[in-house]
A and B are shown apart, each in its own frame.
Chain A
Amino acid sequence: MDLIIPTLSQGLLWSILALGVYLTFRVLDIADLTVEGSFPLGAAAASACLVKGSDPFTAILVAAVAGMLAGIITGLLTTKLKIPALLAGILTMIALYSVNLHVMGKANLSLLQIDTVFTKFSFISDDRQLVTLIVGAAATLFLCLLCYWFFGTEIGAAIRATGFNPNMIRANGVNTDVTIVLGLLISNAFVAICGALVAQSNGFADVGMGVGTIVIGLASVIIGEVLFGTKCFWRCLVSVVLGSVVYRIVIALVLELGMPPNDLKLFTAILVAIALGLPLLQAKYKAKQWKEAAK
């Protein structure tokens, strides 16, 4: 019972990462591994700012800008140098590992005794978990609305069209190099903001905290789509957020059932592999049934 609020708040905080992954994986139709570097980058940038005594909101803003830069680099690698997007993301991710160490000055930065966005709102309640939940929900809602608005504008529509059919949008006069870079920029800003919030919620930033984030994001996106549908863009955004919450619930449950925490990443990877492979397996199964029926 006492697990409900922490699980929910983790789900909401991490849904910002899931939204970022959704923007590349589904909207732009690119599997972007920059995420694994921009998440700790956001955490590192925000923590470094906080340690230096800056305001938590400024720290989050700095993290977002850092994420944007990471997205731009991957974008330029793939559009200008024609490096395949997957590889471009890996290159940026690896480079960011060193960058993050520079930003933090060491491998781990503690935020204990330092004012964070969560202590800023501690007047809401004495219950730290409840504050995290409320701040997480507010941040998620704000970013969802921002996303909905932006992707409904002319520029946003051009980015979405790039993901569906780059030929079409080029034939309509849009430079797809620009839309791809923009999409990656926004996605990685989201991911970095998530990193900044998670670091403040956990009380530390760690250079290794990005490992597996892409898979967590994918799991949330896919769970959300399967359970809550993709009827329109707003519905997709809500599904991704709910998917992230369900993912945390599943994790809490399997941990409760006694799975060793060290196996979590293995579990998540298998979950995502099954979910990604499911449509194909379903189609094969149907085709087989069809053949047998025809006999």
Chain B
Amino acid sequence: MLDIVHIAKTFNPGTITEKIALVDVSLHLDDGDFVTVIGGNGAGKSTLMNSIAGTFPVDRGSISIDGEDITSWPEHRRAKYIGRVFQDPMMGTAAGMMIEENLAIASRRGKMPTLRWSAPESNRTKFRELLAPLKLGLEDRLESKVGLLSGGQRQALTLLMATMANPKLLLLDEHTAALDPKTAEKVLDITTKIVGERHLTTLMITHNMRDALRCGNRLIMMYDGKILIDVKGEEKKNLTVPDLLAMFEKAAGSELTSDSLLLS
């Protein structure tokens, strides 16, 4: 499904602010893999995700989806295959446009826009049916501007938008981090439900170790621009926090507290 082969990324090379964000990362995802990604601040998690999404070009290596090499594709072209939810609830929606306008745009993801009417009323039944399971009351507010919604509502809507055009790959970058614990829980429930029902291949970054352990079928931990730990299947199912810490110590050769990883 997703093949990342020896990619590397250095920001501001040759300057005093030079920062090696990804050293040499390879990763293969199978169809339907739901991978949680953990690691301390600056470990390179977002950089990995942005490299896949095409926010910036990588320095080396290649990225392909279903055998198609997308390394040189610009961001908007990759969007055909990739749905994304960002950490900032403001990032994923157009605040000044109505809920139905946002949904209409998302329903056409990856297609060339035409001169057809963007948000025809005939879409509404479909949109209501999509929104109703969120249980946020959004199905009755199709004509509200998205800017009027709460952070949690916006994030749930973004999640719906990211998945409605059936992406091959779903990228979630700490998409619940800016929400209060209760709302975060709810958005995460919606996430696991959508991903589970539709068998979406997913990469989810989180700072919450409990979430990382209980969601998905695979877990990777990043450290200093590298993937340090990669566990899947039965091993992942039975994994506990102390197990993870022990694995980290062995792999990184250094002492580590759960605090220093910012994992709760």
- Segment 158-182 of B: residues with Cβ below 8 Å from A: 161-162
Would you give the 0/1 interface string for B50-83, flagging 1 where the beta carbon is closer than 8 Å to chain A?
0001000000000000000000001111011001
Task: Decide if A171 is an interface residue (CB 8 Å cutoff).
Answer: yes
Report the bound CA distance from A156 to B109 in whole Å: 15
- Do B116 and A153 have beta carbons less than 8 Å apart? yes
- Whether a CB of chain A sits under 8 angstroms from the CB of B118 is yes
Please, which residues of chain B bring their CB within 8 A of the CB of A158? Answer: 105, 113
Residue of B nearest to A165 (CB): B94
CB pair B94–A169 under 8 Å, yes or no, is yes
A167 interface residue, CB < 8 Å from B?
Answer: yes
Cβ B79 vs Cβ A171 within 8 A: yes
Q: Which of B109, B113, B114, B118 has the most CB of A within 10 A?
A: B113
A155 lies within 8 A of B105 (CB): no
Binding site secondary structure of chain B: loop
Checking B94, B117, B162 against A161 with a beta-carbon cut-off of 8 angstroms, the contacting residue is B94
Answer whether A153 and B76 are a contact pair too, CB < 8 Å, given A161-B94, A164-B94.
no
Instruction: Write out, one digit per residue, whether chain A residues 166-194 have a CB within 8 A of any chain B CB (1) or not (0).
Output: 01111111111000000000000000000
B136 within 8 A of A: no
CB closest residue in chain B, given A159: B113
CB of A126 within 8 A of chain B?
no
Interface string of A128-168 (1 = CB under 8 A from B): 00000000000000000000001011111110110111011
Known A157-B101, A157-B105, A164-B95; judge A172-B79 contact (CB<8 A): yes
* Nearest B residue (CB) for A231: B145
Residues on the B chain within 8 Å of A170, using CB:
75-76, 79
The A-B contact count (CB < 8 A) is 89
A173–B76 CB distance below 8 A: yes
Q: Is the CB of B94 within 8 A of A153?
A: no
Cα distance, A169 to B75, chains bound together (Å): 11
Interface of A is mostly: helix
Q: Which residues of B contact A176 (CB under 8 A)?
A: 76
- At the interface, yes or no: B106 with Cβ under 8 Å from chain A? yes
Tell whether A153 pairs with B105 under 8 Å between CB atoms, given A171-B92, A173-B76, A175-B74.
no
The total of chain B residues at the interface (CB under 8 A) is 35
Contact of B118 among A154, A165, A173 (CB under 8 A): A154
Asked if B141 lies at the interface with its beta carbon under 8 angstroms from chain A, I say no
Complex: A152 Cα to B119 Cα, angstroms: 8
Which of B79, B83, B91, B119 neighbours the largest number of chain A CB atoms within 10 Å of its CB? B79
B97 in complex: contacting residue of A150, A164, A173, CB < 8 Å: A164
- Is residue B86 within 8 Å, beta carbon to beta carbon, of the partner chain? yes
| B239 → A minimal CB distance (Å) | 32
Structural contact, A173 and B79, CB atoms closer than 8 A: yes
Nearest CB on B from A188, distance (A): 20
Q: Assess the B91–A167 pair: CB atoms within 8 A.
A: yes
A150 to B80, CA, bound (A): 24
Given contacts A167-B86, A171-B84, contact A161 B114 (CB under 8 A): no
B113 near A174: Cβ-Cβ < 8 Å: yes
Q: How far is the CB of B130 from chain A (nearest CB, A)?
A: 16
A-B residue pairs, 5 tightest by C-beta: A173-B79, A154-B113, A157-B118, A164-B94, A173-B110
- B contact residues vs A (CB 8 Å cutoff): 53, 74-77, 79-80, 83-84, 86, 90-97, 101, 104-106, 108-111, 113-119, 161-162
| 19 more CB-based (< 8 A) A-B contacts, given A154-B115, A170-B75 | A154-B104, A154-B117, A154-B118, A155-B115, A157-B119, A158-B105, A165-B93, A165-B94, A171-B75, A171-B83, A172-B79, A172-B161, A173-B76, A173-B77, A173-B79, A173-B80, A173-B109, A174-B76, A175-B76
